[in-house]
Structures are given as structure tokens and as C-alpha cells.
Amino acid sequence: MTEQELDVFAGQLDVILGSVARVGEVAAADIEPTTHAVPLRNVLRPDEVGPCLDRSVVLAQAPAVEDNRFRVPRILDDEQ
Amino acid sequence: MTTLESTVDITGRYDPVIGLETHVELGTASKMFCGCPTTFGAEPNTQVCPVCLGLPGSLPVPNEVAVESTIRIGLALHCEIASWCRFARKNYFYPDMPKNFQISQYDEPLCTDGYLDVTVEGRTVRVEIERVHLEEDTGKSLHVGGATGRIHGADHSLVDYNRAGIPLVEIVTKPVTGTGALAPEIGRAYVTELRELLRSLGVSDVRMEQGSLRCDVNVSLSPAGSGVWGTRSETKNVNSLRSVERAIRYEMSRQAELLDRGARVVQETRHFHEDNGRTTPGRSKEEATDYRYFPEPDLVPLAPDAGWVNRLRATLPELPAQRRARLAGELGATDFEMESMANAGVVELVAATAAAGAPPAEARNWWLGYLAQEANKRELEPADLGVTPEQVARIIALVDEGTLSVALGRQVIDVILEAGGDVDTIVAERGLQVVSDSDALGQAADEAIAAKPDIAEKVRAGKINAVGPLIGDVRRAVPQADAATVRTILLEKLGVSGG
Amino acid sequence: MSELTYLGAAEIAVAIAAGDVSAEEVTRAHLDRIEQVDGMVRAFLHVDTDGALDAARRVDADRAAGRDLGPLAGVPLAMKDVVVTQGLPTTAGSKILEGWIPPYDATITRKIKDAGIVMLGKTNMDEFAMGSSTENSAFHPTHNPWDLDRIPGGSSGGSSAAVSAFEAALGIGTDTGGSIRQPAAVTGIVGHKPTYGGVSRYGLIAFSSSLDQAGPFGRTVLDAALLHEVIGGHDPLDSTSIPQPVPPVAAAARDGARADLTGVRVAVVRELGGEGYQPGVLAAFQEAVSTLRALGATVLEVSCPHFDYALAAYYLIAPSECSSNLARFDGVRYGLRVGDDGVRSLEDVMSLTREAGFGPEVKRRIMIGTYALSSGYYDAYYGQAQKVRTLISRDFAAAFEQADVLVSPSSPFVAFGIGERIDDPMAMYVNDLCTLPASLAGTPAISVPCGLSEGLPVGLQVMAPALADDRCYRVAAALEADHGHPLTEEAPAL
């Protein structure tokens, strides 16, 4: 992003965050958060093997492939 | 630091605190959130689907057996099972993570507050378990172009997502204090015992060398008696039970040396090196990564009710500690003997050998003795040596009935280690039946010795290699005998061990 | 031939089943219409001529072989480009997915195909469903068929415009904060957001997982209801999909068409109206309420005070979830990759890719979301916002003790001019004021045309309790029946 874009963004974010901070006004100590409209529990699937994608299809959409694997540029060193 | 200071000396000045984080790959048929198979060693990127590839639009659905296995592990570790909990997203960018977040658990793990007792040198330590939770594994990267195959110096990397999405259970201990000089042994004993427990539950094949059991080791030192905890390091790449012990030992020594000269222990992640037993620094963890955890909105809560938990409790097998107590009775072994067997990882092997007919004490001697020795030499677990309890029981039987001597029995084991095979076949093919009064080979050996007393004297005095001519004599008399067998018999008769 | 494009979906299906016209003819008529007007409307990103004709021919073959046809077999449909379609480009309105051809179908795609519905192509949308005007599309804006200088609403503006412009008889949109209802309102058609979990999200490119729902567009209430019955229902591939059967929405639509609302309690929500709402919109809304009363409904007013916090809660929850959902777009496995010159690191390439591939609104929301979830802020922002949802749900529950449905305008404004609000995010966000509460509570809500203001369509929003989608359709159908004809018949010719 350019400097100018960043300035505009920062201003917009300020306004947005300011308005959403209102959310803190609402007394909420004892209130449970809502996850889903119709509460569901324990939705699980049996441990069964199903079909996989064909590898050629999987790799066809990849930006770069080598040795049947997804090729990515060098990862920044996180070990010495 | 060329040699490590002994832990006994270190603990004169510092109290070690250790912690272990273990990741267990569950042996489910399908992945955690999709139906892809989990078989090890498949061609890269052939066991993937929209879900485990994290393709846009894909959604996770949790594997029922994975959840049950986690609960069973928690129950076996005497944990509290949450009555309601959720999965959470752990957000960070890394190419082996298709969604750039991992579905895991954060502040609502499935199991909490358990323990596992381990015994080392007669001391029982209760290792407390902080939590057991369920998550998905990442893919695997190959780093190409560097010298060591690691990230450093690599030109690019190649990613395989077959492993992405395999269910992973994370077991975290609370800090273990009061271990003193035995900290390394206790750490190792904990992982050993945990592995036995997981194996007995049948939830994983727990093979450290294949990565289905992974261990991170945390170590810190506190000035003796101060109660002030030190900064801890986290060591990864600990790929065997022996490495657990060595890593703790090294870290204690390294940290003691730093603290002794007034330097600071840095909070960091370190990498364990198999070849020299040292650790080297990795990512600095001074600034912990912010994973921006939040409850996974694509999944609904897990709420294991009492009925479900009790049904799972009923499926628990006899746990290793109980089993050992029972076996101690059946095998007539003392606590010390049981502990030796447990720490050598041979309890089940001894029990199976006894079940195959061998007297328990002899089964124990063979497994704790020659077999453990050979395992150590090859840096293998006794269970992975390739010698079965049935084979050992047969050898013991042959020794007991006089057909084999102990030395020849060992030789049979050597052959099995080399080339496998059936005990009786090996004995027959190589003519290993031991000397008996009517035995031609034994007689020939006696005669050869009697005929050349000078040579016999030299051998008895320690010049083992002088036995050569006697071997030749015996073989002329008993042409079908093999040289190694003859040598063993001669040396035995001459009262020397010759290897 | 061109009259075929003016028929509703139900009528087309009946005509095809009766043999009065072939599915292929119907599809050709719609493809012709697209060619004729889409240069102006620009609803479509990709028209799948061959695929559509193949699907139509299969319906004709089925009919010839005497096989049973589904209730919408042969009806042409416009699919929002946020829905994954195997073998057809799917972009979510973004450059970062330009050229991506999915290897799988969304569940609703599969259901639509299995029903013999003919997918004409993929429609334009605000990038990753973030927006209320379709101006955030990385490709081009879509134009409102009622006035080509105006926005068609968003984020499902392409599908809505396509149906409104008679390019398709049916449309699929997705609604996260109002993205079906608001476009339906400003283009003069019907659009419904089902109960959360009522329609599978498997294959919907995720924006805000706990809010996203796919839903139907039609020019009539019955058309939308028939499509709802095709796409709705439990999906084992979506853990959040509800196990209950699809509510009887088509029956409710037919019942509503009798225009008798005796015994139905309709409540106007005090907080969804008044200052900030265009007078013409409020006038049309009041008239609609009077009509409902005239049809026999009992009309009352309720107050839902926490609805005032809906905007704030939404603009914390949705960006938070999207910041995580959009992390996967990094140039590694599919889509755009920028800057891989063999020297740069992966981290740099990912940054460059996302910088180039995402538009400003998406970046804005990712930043807000990342901030709201960061350690130390979770409780104050995302955590708090989720609690506001509970308060909003309680307001709904209390209101539904006094009424069967709640009503409000679907949007505070009629379609505004293209370019008018795009530089002021807050001015854009207030488009969602009316629609956000039902999104946050996960309850069903429909927008049905209720008249014109300044010659532009106004929509009435009808909200019902969770799983009671049929109530929305019933009341909407009654209003529509009273008007006598779909509002789109009054649209200026293109």
C-alpha cells in the first residue's frame, strides 16, 4: 500500500473502530456468547475413508509444482 | 563444553524443572476433518481433498473416533473430561498449513488435570497432566538446495499435504519439579510410560521414528531451594526415548554453565541434534507469536455427556501400571525387577516369553541381558530388534534341556538378528546342538584340546586367536560342523569368552 | 421467443413439463437476452453457454424418456461467483482467484444440477462478499436494471440484477449482513436469507462463517420458495447445517397468495426506521404495513433496543472471521502468485500476492479483523460482539412472543448512484442497518418489493423466528398478491 492509501486507511479504521467500540457499552458480564442460531452439539462423522481428489487435478491449479509437490520460494530461516 | 557436567553435581546448585509436550498421531482410518486415508508413505499429494487442502469453500467435520480416542486418553490419564468445549483456530502463516490456521483447541481443551506415575530407581514421581486436546496435523515440507535438508540455506521448498489433517492429540504436562538429578531419566520414563499407555489403548502406533509420537522437552533451572523459577527453553526434534533423556541432560548442563557465570538463559526454541546430543538455538520466543485464537465458527461444540464418557471408560483396557502390578505377581518379580523391565521397555516382551512357556526369571534375564544389550548397540528398542518372544522362549527351552549352551543360544540370536529364521532350523542347519557325552562334536573338541595342551594353555591365558588350529582339528573330525560353532564350543570348554 | 424470459420460474417449469416449450429453447432465449442486455447491466462474470445448453438438453432428453422432472427442471439460473462450481471459473469477485477452476462442486451447486436447473453462468459480486453495492468487485461494477447509473446493491448485486433484468428466472446469492435482501430490495425482486444452517455452506467461499447463508432470488415469492426447497436441507459436509427438514416454504408461498393474513400478528420494529432513512422508503414501508393490516393482519410495534448495536457487533465479528478465512489466499496452492522471481522469500511473495490480489475493502476488513482478534483485544472486541448477538437474539425472542413476524424496510435507501458512497466506508456500512439484526441472530428474513420511491424499488423485510422461514414467505406472498403482479413488470425497458 502507498503512503497515501495508508493514511486514508488509518483514518477510516479509526472511525470504524471508534464506532464499533460502542459494543463495549453494553453490559455483558454474565452473558453467554452466541455461536449458532439453532444450537447444535457433537456433530461428528464416522471414521470412514472416502474419495480423494485426483493428484493431477490438485496440482493443475498450483502456481508452481516440482516432484508432485507444491513448490514455494525459500522460507525465511526460522532455525539456525 | 565438551563433556557434560553430571546432573548430580548440577542439582547441588540448581533445581531442574522439566515439562513435556507430546503430540500423538492417532491411528484412525481417515483424517480428522475429512475422509482422506491416513496411511503412511503414500505418494505425495495423493491423499488430499478439498477439506484437507483448505480449498475455498471447504468445511471440516470432526472424526468421531478421534474424539473418542482423545477422551479415552484423558480417562487413562485420570483427567477431567470437559462437559462442553470447542475447537479453536490457531492463526499463523506457514506453507504446510493449507488454511494458514490450524484447527486446534485453546482455552477449552477436551481433557484437563490428570496424572501419570512413573518410577525411576525405586522413586515414584507423579507427573501431572495439564491438558489433553485434539487438533489437526500439518503437511510436510522438503527443503531443497541447502546443505542439510533443513530450511537454512535452502533455495526453495516442496510441500506434500498427505499428512495435513491427520488427527493429532497434544498432551501437556504441568511443570515437573523435585526430580533432582534424575530429571533426564524421569523425562524419559514419562515418555516411555505414556507410549506404553497409548499403545495399550490402541489409539496410535506411537512410532517415534515415523513421527506418530513427537516430543518437545522444556527445561529450566532454579537456584537450589530458592523457589524462584528460571527461564525455560523448549527443545524440539527429540525423536527417540534416548533423545528425551539426552536433551534434558544437555539442557541442564548448558543452562547451569550459563547461570554459573551470571549469564541469562534465553527463552527460546532449540533444536536437538541426534548426532552429538547437543541443542542449538532456533526461533527466539522472547516475543511469543500472537495466534489470535478464536472459537472455530465452522464447528459446533463438543459436549460429551456422562453416558458417553462412561461407555468409553468401560472400553479402557488394563492400563500398563495395573498390568505390571498383575504381571509382577505372575512373573514373581520384585518392584525393582519390574522397574528395570519397564524402563528397558521389555515388560510385555518378558510376559509374552513367559506365556510362550519360558520360566519368568530366565525370560527376564535374556531380555534385560543379551537382548537389551544388542538393542542398545543397534540403537533400537528391544521390541524392534526382530526377535520374537516365541523365539526367545524356544531358545530358553533348548538351553534348559541341554541342547544349547547359553553361548550357543546367543549365537542363535545373532543369526536371527542377521537373517531372521526359525530357531530349530537354525540350530539344525548350523549344527549348534551342544556337547553332550554322546555328541560327536563335543567329543571331537575334547580330543582336540587334549591333543594340543600348549595351544589350550595359550587360549586359556587369553590369546583367543590361538584357538585356530584346534578349530581345524575338530572340523576334520566332524566335517559338517561350522567354524563359528566349533569356535564357541572350544572356547566354552576352555573356559574363556571370546565374543 | 423473448416472452420466455418474462415468464417466472414456476411458469417455465410447467411449460417445459407440459411440452409447450423445450428447455433448450428457454435457455437459448435467456442466453440471447444476456447477449442483448448484459453489456449494459454487466451482471455476469462468466456465461457458460455450452454447459447451460448441455444441461437444458439433458432435461429435454429426460422428458422425452418419460423420466420425472423436478419442479424447476429446465429453469435458467444465475449463480453468484462466491459459490464453487466444478470446472467453471470461480473468483469470488477477486483478482486473487482469477483463473481458478475448482475441482469440486458446492453442495448447492450439486443440488441445483440434480434438480435439472440450468446454470447460465457466474455473476458479479463485491469482492469476497464484502460490500453493499457490487462496486467492490475487482472486475467491474454491475448496473441496476432500473437505472443503469445506479448500483444494484451488494454483495449479490450480479445475481439480483440478472434476475431483475430478465436474464435469468432464478438467482443464487449469499447473505452475510444483508447481501441478498438489500440487492433484492433495490432491484425490485424477492430475495430470502434462510435460517442460519438451513442451507449448506459447503462450497461457499467463506467470508464470515457464523453469518454466511446462501439463499434464493426470484421475481416472485413462489419462485424463490421453489428454489429454496431445492437448495435447503441438512448436509453432512457442513457441521453447522441443521438436521431439521426444509420448512414448507412453497406451500406457505401458495397459501400467502390467497392474500388473507387474518390471525397473523405483524410487528414493526421501532429501531429500524426514522432518522437516516429516506422519506420515500419510509412512505413505501408505511403503505406496505397498511396493506398488511388491510389483509387481516394485526399490526403492532415492538422495541428491540439492542438492534442499535448490530452494526458495531457485525463490523467486529465479520472482519474477525474473514481475516482468518482469507488467510489461505497466499499464492501457494492456487490462484494468483506475484513476485516469485527465484530470489524473493516465500514471505515476500505471499505479501506481494495478497497486496496485488485483494482490493481496498477486503484489506480494510482484514486489518480490522486482525486487530480485533489480537491478544489483549479479543475480549473487548470479538468476545464482546458475540455477547451482543445473544442480546439481539433475546430481543427477537421477546418480540416473537408478541408477534409472528417482524417487519422493517429492507434498506434505508433506494439504489444510490455508482461512485456515490464508495469513498466513505461508514456511509456504505449503514446500508446494512435493517438487515444486520437477523443476520446476527441467524433468523430467517425475506425482502419482497413493496412499491417505488422516486421511481426506484423499495423492499419490505419480513423476519421470523429460526426455522420459521415459511412465515416470511407467507406474508411476502400476501403483499405480492395484493399488488397483483411482480414489481419487475414496472421496470423501464432496457
pLDDT digits (tens, 9 = 90+) for C201-222: 999 999 999 999 999 999 999 9
d(CA B435, CA B403): 8
Q: Does any CB of chain C come closer than 8 Å to the CB of residue A6?
A: no
Give pLDDT, residue A4. 63
Residues of chain A positioned with their CB less than 8 A from the CB of B141: 75
Residues of chain C positioned with their CB less than 8 A from the CB of A75: 345-347
pLDDT digits (tens, 9 = 90+) for B364-411: 999 999 999 999 888 888 988 889 999 999 999 998 887 888 888 888
If you average pLDDT over residues B83-101, what whole number do you get? Answer: 96
Interface contact A79-B30, CB threshold 8 A: no
Cell numbers that stand for B344 in this block: 528397558
pLDDT band per the 50, 70, 90 thresholds, residue B480? low
pLDDT digits (tens, 9 = 90+) for B134-182: 999 999 999 998 777 777 778 899 999 999 999 999 999 999 999 999 9
B487-496, C27-36, C39-48, C165-174: the lowest-pLDDT one: B487-496
From the CA of B114, how many Å to the nearest CA of chain C? Answer: 28
pLDDT band per the 50, 70, 90 thresholds, residue B130? very high
Give pLDDT, residue A32. 74
Residue C101 burial (CB count, 10 A): 15
Chains that touch A (3 or more CB pairs under 8 A): B, C
Give pLDDT, residue B438. 43
pLDDT digits (tens, 9 = 90+) for B333-347: 888 888 888 778 888
Give pLDDT, residue B163. 97
Give pLDDT, residue B263. 93
Q: Does any CB of chain C come closer than 8 Å to the CB of residue B59?
A: yes
d(CA C368, CA C360): 12
Asked if the model's pLDDT at residue A80 lies above 60, the reply is no
Cell numbers that stand for B117 in this block: 506415575
Give pLDDT, residue B334. 87
pLDDT digits (tens, 9 = 90+) for B166-223: 999 999 999 999 999 999 999 999 999 999 999 999 999 999 888 899 999 999 999 9
d(CA B187, CA B218): 10
| Average pLDDT, rounded, for chain C | 96
pLDDT digits (tens, 9 = 90+) for A13-68: 776 667 666 767 775 666 777 767 778 999 999 999 999 999 999 999 999 999 99
Q: Tally the residues of chain B.
A: 499
Residue C315 vs residue C127, higher pLDDT:
C127
Question: What does each C-alpha distance from A12 to A6, A18, A21, C358, C414 come to in angstroms?
Answer: 10, 10, 14, 17, 25
Contact between B490 and B474 (Cβ < 8 Å): yes
If you average pLDDT over residues C391-407, what whole number do you get? Answer: 97
Give pLDDT, residue A28. 60
If you average pLDDT over residues B279-295, what whole number do you get? Answer: 79
pLDDT band per the 50, 70, 90 thresholds, residue B432? confident
If you average pLDDT over residues C102-115, what whole number do you get? Answer: 98
If you average pLDDT over residues C309-331, what whole number do you get? Answer: 94
**pTM of this structure:** 0.88
Residue whose C-alpha cell is 413505501: C284
Cell numbers that stand for B403 in this block: 541342547
If you average pLDDT over residues C151-157, what whole number do you get? Answer: 97
Asked if the model's pLDDT at residue B498 lies above 70, the reply is no
Closest residue to C391, CB basis, from A9, A26, A36 = A26
Question: CA-based angle B151:B156:B157, to the nearest 5?
Answer: 70
Of C441, C487, C449, nearest to C468 (Cα)? C441
Closest residue to C84, CB basis, from B53, B56, B298 = B56
* Catalytic (active-site) positions of C: 80, 155, 179
Q: Does any CB of chain B come closer than 8 Å to the CB of residue C131?
A: no
Amino acid at B300: V
**Which residues 322-351 of C have a C-beta within 8 angstroms of B?**
323-324, 327-330, 332-334, 346-347, 350
Asked if the model's pLDDT at residue B284 lies above 60, the reply is no
Contact between C344 and C113 (Cβ < 8 Å): no
Residues of chain B positioned with their CB less than 8 A from the CB of C346: 95, 157
Give pLDDT, residue A2. 58
Instruction: Identify from C208, C333, C463 which residue to disrupt to test chain A contact, counting A C-beta atoms within 10 A and taking the largest count.
Output: C333
Give pLDDT, residue B321. 84
Interface contact B57-C106, CB threshold 8 A: yes
d(CA B144, CA B123): 47
Give pLDDT, residue B381. 85
Query: SS3 of A58, please?
Result: helix
Interface contact A53-B48, CB threshold 8 A: yes
pLDDT band per the 50, 70, 90 thresholds, residue A7? low
B91-100, B423-432, C96-105: the lowest-pLDDT one: B423-432
pLDDT band per the 50, 70, 90 thresholds, residue C270? very high
Give pLDDT, residue C381. 82
B102-111, B458-467, C91-100, C450-459: the lowest-pLDDT one: B458-467
| Average pLDDT, rounded, for chain B | 90
Residue A20 C-alpha from the chain's centroid? 21
d(CA C253, CA C273): 27
Give pLDDT, residue C403. 98
If you average pLDDT over residues C139-157, what whole number do you get? Answer: 98
Query: SS3 of B234, please?
Result: strand
Interface TM-score (ipTM) > 0.90: yes
If you average pLDDT over residues C149-174, what whole number do you get? Answer: 98
Rounded percentage of chain C residues whose pLDDT exceeds 70: 100
A6-20, C264-278, C346-360: the lowest-pLDDT one: A6-20
DSSP for B416-428, please give it.
HHHH---HHHHHH
